[in-house]
Amino acid sequence: MKRIAQTIRLRPEHREEYLRLHSAVWPGVEAALLRANIRNYSIYLHGDVLFAYMEYIGDDFEGDMASIEADPETQRWWKHTDPCQEPFPDRGEGRQWTELPEIWHLSPPDDDATA
């Protein structure tokens, strides 16, 4: 499993629109994410900064991300959400959100470990 964290700014003038959209994410968008092996996807808000966390359980990350990008329902969704966002300058070529490197992770203890 691959854990992914991303961040982007929320344009203050689009805050209510963005929150309204995410109060009822379109079923087709959710289905595309699930087909692309995305699980445990959450978006958090702090001030005007959005933070997203997701887990990828597939074995062809680039292919699965391409399938999301090619999905017509997701493309329509992005036409509504992208104007609400202000990408950070270091987001990378062709990306909307900036991917954050994982610097630490607490793994669950082994089931057979003794305390």
Specify the pLDDT at position 93. 77
State the number of CA atoms in the 13 A half-sphere of 25 facing the CB: 13
Specify the pLDDT at position 90. 86
- For 62, other C-beta atoms within 10 Å of its C-beta total 7
Q: What digits encode the pLDDT tens for the residues 8-30? A: 999 999 999 999 999 999 999 99
Helix (H) or strand (E) holding 77: helix 72-81
Weakly modelled stretches of the chain, pLDDT under 50: none
Q: For residue 49, which phi and psi values (nearest 5 degrees)?
A: -115, 130
Specify the pLDDT at position 110. 80
Specify the pLDDT at position 111. 61
